[in-house]
Amino acid sequence: MPRLGRAFVPQPAVALDVTDAELSGKLAQVSKTAVLTLRARADEQHRPDRVLLDPVAAEWMARLPWPPELDGWYQNDAQGNLALRADDVDQIVRRCVAQLGTRVVVELGCGLSTRRQRLAEPSQLEWLDVDLPPMIALREALGAPPPHVAGSVLDLAWLDVVPNSETPPLLIAEGLLYYLPRTEVDRLFAAIAARLPGAVILFDVVGVDDFPRLLENSSSVGAPVAWKLERNFDQVLLEFGLDPIPEFDPDELMKDALSRYWHRFNARTRGLIYFAMGTPEVWARRSGMVLGRFVSAAFTGGPDGSTPPAPPVDLAP
């Protein structure tokens, strides 16, 4: 079976001696949406009904100033929504490790993600974070562990340093793709399919009904989202040219998430969910998480074309 990518030797994390004033200067150069998601995870720890613990997010948030222009967005249920999304991605990553034998994870547009620390990464799982140089500089100043790639996900240089693996890598694009021009997303997906055949990608899409509110919030901080899913959600894999993975059908991922987080929804939200699920034309316009595999004849997988099994790896819940 072909090995994917190029060998990459990670270095130990180094916490830099950086003042809070210097951190503030670095923060001014990056997208404020990264601070929004960081605070959501930090605040989640204080909820009695929390779904995740993220002490690193709390530590980083304590060192960073809060941009006041985010107040309006954060008060519009953002804390709960973003924390649940982060945990949902965590849960799917754990399943990929257990069921697909994933050994390499690449976080595209990682921002201030602390997922690697939150999942208590085992030594068998290699991780690569990719984001623009100012964001990587901020992460390094906060003490985030390497390896990092400082560059746009669209310039494709990161594809050259994806760690070798006997199983296809898992790419994560959480809260990223709809901020990029759709034509560039299509070009990116075509490049990944050609360079990392058989790779798996986990990302979220915004449906027609959720788009106006997200556009309003993101525009208020100067980072408007660029596109929404025009097709029905059940056609999302076809829309992006991805192969389905039977254990991870997008519709089933949605139902799993609703069941897992039902205790967090108030009566009004539960009523809206029941209405949407019972109204096909509304349910078809939903947002959601997507997991699919890039198609390429060059990827042969195991003897029967499937991904060969790998020893189990435990990820701390």
Looking up residue 111, the CATH number of its domain turns out to be 3.40.50.150
pTM: 0.86
- pLDDT for 22 equals 55
The answer to whether residue 279 sits within a structural domain is: yes
| DSSP state for residue 3 in the 8-state scheme | P
- pLDDT for 110 equals 96
pLDDT tens by residue, the chain, 317 residues: 333 343 333 333 334 445 554 555 545 545 789 999 999 999 999 999 999 999 999 999 999 999 999 999 998 689 999 999 999 999 999 999 999 999 999 999 999 999 999 997 656 789 999 999 999 999 999 999 999 999 999 999 999 999 988 899 999 999 999 999 999 999 999 999 999 999 999 999 999 999 999 999 999 988 999 999 999 999 999 999 999 999 999 999 999 999 999 999 999 999 999 999 999 999 999 999 999 999 864 433 333 334 434 434 444 43
- pLDDT for 104 equals 96
Domain count along the chain:
1
- pLDDT for 169 equals 97
- pLDDT for 122 equals 58
- pLDDT for 28 equals 53
The answer to whether residue 172 sits within a structural domain is: yes
Backbone angles phi, psi at 85, to 5 degrees: -60, -45
The answer to whether residue 164 sits within a structural domain is: yes
DSSP 42-88: HHHTT-TT-S---HHHHHHHHHSPPPGGGHHHIIIIIHHHHHHHHHH
Give strand pairing partners of 205: 288
- pLDDT for 30 equals 53
The answer to whether residue 143 sits within a structural domain is: yes
Backbone angles phi, psi at 267, to 5 degrees: -60, -40
- pLDDT for 192 equals 97
Distance CA 125, CA 115 (A): 13
The answer to whether residue 193 sits within a structural domain is: yes
Give strand pairing partners of 126: 104
The answer to whether residue 45 sits within a structural domain is: no
Give strand pairing partners of 128: 106
Burial of 156 (0-12, 13-18, 19+ CB in 10 A): middle
- pLDDT for 31 equals 77
- pLDDT for 306 equals 41
The answer to whether residue 66 sits within a structural domain is: no
Give strand pairing partners of 149: 130
Q: How big is the chain by its Cα radius of gyration, in Å?
A: 19
- pLDDT for 316 equals 42
Q: What is the residue range of 255's domain?
A: 81-294
| DSSP state for residue 14 in the 8-state scheme | -
Q: Which amino acid is at 31?
A: S
| DSSP state for residue 2 in the 8-state scheme | P
The answer to whether residue 106 sits within a structural domain is: yes
